[in-house]
Amino acid sequence: MMSHTPPANPLLDVRDLSVGLTNRHGAFLAADRVTLQVKTGQSLGLLGESGCGKSITLRALLGLVPHPGEIVGGHIEWKGRDWRSFSRREIMKMRGKEIAMIFQDPASCLNPVFTIGDQITETLRLKLGLRSKAAQTYAADLLDQVGIPAPAERLRLYPHELSGGMRQRVMIAIAIATEPDLLLADEPTTALDVTIQDQILNLLARLKDRTSMSMILVSHDVGVVAQNCDVIAVMYAGRIMESGPAREILEAPRHPYTRGLLAAIPQLRVGAGRPPLKTIAGLPPNPAALPQGCPFQPRCPSARSECGTIPVTLDRKLPGHGSACPFVN
């Protein structure tokens, strides 16, 4: 008998998500029609220069856009259900349990007046219903998992008594405590030295294998994304410029911005006879004063006059691998 398995719905399906913010130049879109899908067990790497909207996009997925900013358009589906149909209560319940986030700035997420142990066990009590003794034991176990030595003693310390790297690891411990379905990891290992970074990434990879956790990983380090992600989305000025399977993007990038970004990465330039490292000329634009058409055109080596009027939408020339540049490749 033939069995027919329908294609799995993505765990997270984001369509044309736009987030409006205001800075001193005025109102602007920090995320502009962002479309992303994450399947169960999949890791998506989000790449792009500083200020392109990576953190805001992740925050929007948790309903945590900083006030007075707000989601101004688009559609988010979580496990096939429209995000707008979730009540506030349901979202509060889900946050940190089904979807957890490692914030880019760990200092801002820990409360200075409570010990590390209090903060971890509070999460374990609220999200997992663990009682005091079990919560203490699991909290120490979590600190051990993220490579914090003498975990039982560390639980008694206050955030300011820990180094920045230790605080970041505490945040990671809190985020993975519930074994979430989706982990939003915003530069999770930037403040950590290389050994600890590897240890954390291995821990996340094991968690992913064991629990089919999905992840969106924001990193400046293309090497980290290359090693840990199945798909990559490249963002520029709030727009997704290219997205597709990680291997394809790294080996045969289509969009001129992706090419520029990868050419500037030393880790990918192993081997003799490569041309010297290039950086992308110019600076990312002021998000409140973007050029018409493609926002990358002022810096693009392949720009032409039509770029001032083209829509920035991902094409479908390759299955599952879209580029927003209609002129290159």
| Per-residue mark of binding to ligand ATP, 256-295 (x: CB under 6 A) | -------------------------------x--------
C-alpha distances (whole Å) from 245 to each of 136, 173, 223, 287, 327 are 41, 29, 15, 28, 21
| Per-residue mark of binding to ligand ATP, 4-23 (x: CB under 6 A) | -----------------x-x
Task: State which residue, 181 or 187, has the beta carbon closest to Mg ion.
Answer: 187
Q: Which span sits near ligand ATP by CB under 6 A: 54-62, 110-118, 205-213, 260-268?
A: 54-62
Among ligand ATP, Mg ion, none, what binds residue 3 when CB lies within 5 to 8 Å by partner kind? Answer: none
Give the 3-state secondary structure of residue 70: strand
- CB 89 to ligand ATP: min, Å: 25
- Between CA 225 and CA 208 the distance in angstroms is 15
Among ligand ATP, Mg ion, none, what binds residue 73 when CB lies within 5 to 8 Å by partner kind? Answer: none
Residue from 43, 55, 243, 297 that binds Mg ion (CB under 5 A)? 55
Phi, psi (rounded to 5 degrees) for 100:
-120, 155
Q: Which span sits near ligand ATP by CB under 6 A: 48-56, 154-162, 169-177, 309-317?
A: 48-56
The set of long-range contacts for 138-146, using a CB threshold of 8 Å and a minimum separation of 24, is 138/177, 139/173, 142/173, 142/174, 142/176, 142/177, 143/116, 143/169, 143/170, 143/173, 145/173, 145/176, 145/203, 146/170, 146/172, 146/173, 146/176, 146/199, 146/200, 146/203
Q: Identify whether the C-beta of residue 293 lies closer than 8 Å to the C-beta of residue 239.
A: no
- CB 184 to Mg ion: min, Å: 11
Confirm or reject binding of residue 143 to ligand ATP (CB under 6 A).
Answer: no
Tokens linked to 107:
């200092």
Neighbours of 252 (CB within 10 A): 13
Confirm or reject binding of residue 53 to ligand ATP (CB under 6 A).
Answer: yes
| Per-residue mark of binding to Mg ion, 238-267 (x: CB under 5 A) | ------------------------------
Determine what percent of the chain falls in helix, strand and coil, rounding each to the nearest 5.
35, 20, 40
Confirm or reject binding of residue 219 to ligand ATP (CB under 6 A).
Answer: no
Half-sphere exposure of 159 (CA within 13 A, CB side): 18
Task: State which residue, 69 or 96, has the beta carbon closest to ligand ATP.
Answer: 69
- CB 327 to ligand ATP: min, Å: 26
Q: Which residues bind ligand ATP (CB under 6 A)?
A: 21, 23, 30, 48, 50-56, 66, 69, 104, 287
